Amino acid sequence: MNIERELVNVVKKEGANRRVAVISDGTVARLIATRIVSVLKKNGLKTELFTFPAGEKNKNQQIVTKLQHAMLKRKYGRDSLIVALGGGVTGDMAGFVAATYMRGIPYIQVPTTLLAMVDSSVGGKVGIDTPFGKNTVGAFWQPKAVIADAAHLRHLSRKELISGLIEAVKTFFTSDRHMLAVAQRLDLDDPFRTANELQAIIYRSISIKAAIIGRDERESAERLVVNFGHTIGHAIELLSEFRMPHGYAVGYGILVESKIAELLGTISSDEYVSIRDHLKRFGITKAPLSKFSIARVLHVAKTDKKSKSGVPHYVLLSSIGSVYTKGGVYAYPVKESIVRKAYRTV
């Protein structure tokens, strides 16, 4: 597929006279966005590029305000359109700008990291981090389209590739155990050598997430499943001051939350060991957890969006490939003593 052609067609379908604001971080601007903006312009679309510095620490209110003011200064109206071109940080933040600019304008997601392709670009959750926690301010705002080109992943570092792969594997732990074998076959040093596997992983992750969102867009029940590993994961990501890539933090979250499931008896010890072994391939092991005290992790976890009255809730596996659910409930409070034990004994 020619992604530029596809993007031109989708934008024109939304209205050929719309002004188009492409939002990217500095890295993606240099690698990809400048070329895409010039293609849009050549096709008669009034397009400008708006950039911000790369990195999770910039997914915040100050940058959102800067982007909104830059668009207001250039007199972008309600009839304009945003293209969120980049990784999950860009998608979340540009989507949030779209949700709030002039009370909401349309946007298109063009994810360029594996993580954004398999997870964050799908589902319409947009938002920013605050000093109080990850994604603590945001909205549900569905993109008009999601257009991804796996060729963009050629620029991606091994670390960023693995970060995305961990989110995909998370989806397979909760929803499709057979895909774990496919993920195992992916060449982590040269994913394009195993292009069929790469494509299958992207396709299946998106299909699973889209199906869940089709049943529960507002995360009132089943959509909570996609948060497996995220109660602990988000706390670690925040405590690392966002130096740890999102997928890795989720990997540590999966490790601890699977151990919680084992301690509670919802999965067997053999299944826990199998999950631990899968994660080891991505470099997720017990050792780095000692950098983050469990007391601080538990403190931050209280601000997690699944918390109720300050009590963190956890998505628990019932086996590899399915989650524990009873009476339509998908996330559960767990005694602090169990969480502490899991953290100590993974």
Applying CB under 6 A, the residues found at the interface with ligand NAD are: 25, 27-28, 31, 54-56, 59, 86-90, 92, 112-113, 115-116, 119-120, 123, 125, 134-135, 152, 155-156, 160, 163, 245-246
**Which member of 170, 204, 230, 278 is catalytic?**
230
- SS3 (DSSP) at 67: helix
Handedness of CA 199, 279, 287, 240 (dihedral sign): positive
| Shortest reach from residue 24's CB to ligand NAD, in Å | 8
What pairing do the DSSP bridges indicate for beta strands 46-52 and 322-323?
Answer: unpaired
Tell me whether residue 155 is one of the annotated catalytic residues. Answer: no
Both structure tokens of 248:
């890795």
Shortest distance (Å) from residue 64 CB to ligand NAD: 13
Q: What does the DSSP assignment read for 126-159? A: EEEEETTEEEEEEEE---SEE---GGGGGGS-HH
- Which C-beta is closer to ligand NAD: that of 25 or that of 271? 25
Q: Is residue 35 annotated as part of the catalytic site, yes or no?
A: no
**18, 59, 125, 204: the active-site residue:** 125
Exposure of 272 by Cβ count < 10 A (0-12 exposed, 13-18 middle, 19+ buried)? buried
In angstroms, what CA-CA distances link 76 with 3, 96, 108, 267? Answer: 25, 16, 16, 53
Determine whether 178 is an active site residue: no
Write down the catalytic residue from 19, 134, 204, 246.
Answer: 246
Query: Does 246 participate in catalysis according to the annotation?
Result: yes
Residues 234, 276, 278, 313: which is the catalytic one? 234
- The nearest distance, CB 265 to ligand NAD, in angstroms, is 29
As measured in angstroms, the least distance from the Cβ of 22 to ligand NAD is 14
Which residues does residue 138 pair with via DSSP β-bridges, in sequence order? 127
Residue 209 designated active-site? yes
CB closer to ligand NAD, 28 vs 186: 28
DSSP, collapsed to helix, strand or coil, labels residue 59 as coil
Tell me whether residue 6 is one of the annotated catalytic residues. no
Nearest-approach distance from CB 240 to ligand NAD, in angstroms: 13
Q: What are phi and psi of 258, to 5 degrees?
A: -70, -35
Amino acid at 264: L
Of the residues 152, 204, 209, 313, which is catalytic? 209
- Is 219 marked active-site? yes
User: Which positions are catalytic?
Assistant: 103, 125, 167, 209, 219, 223, 227, 230, 234, 246
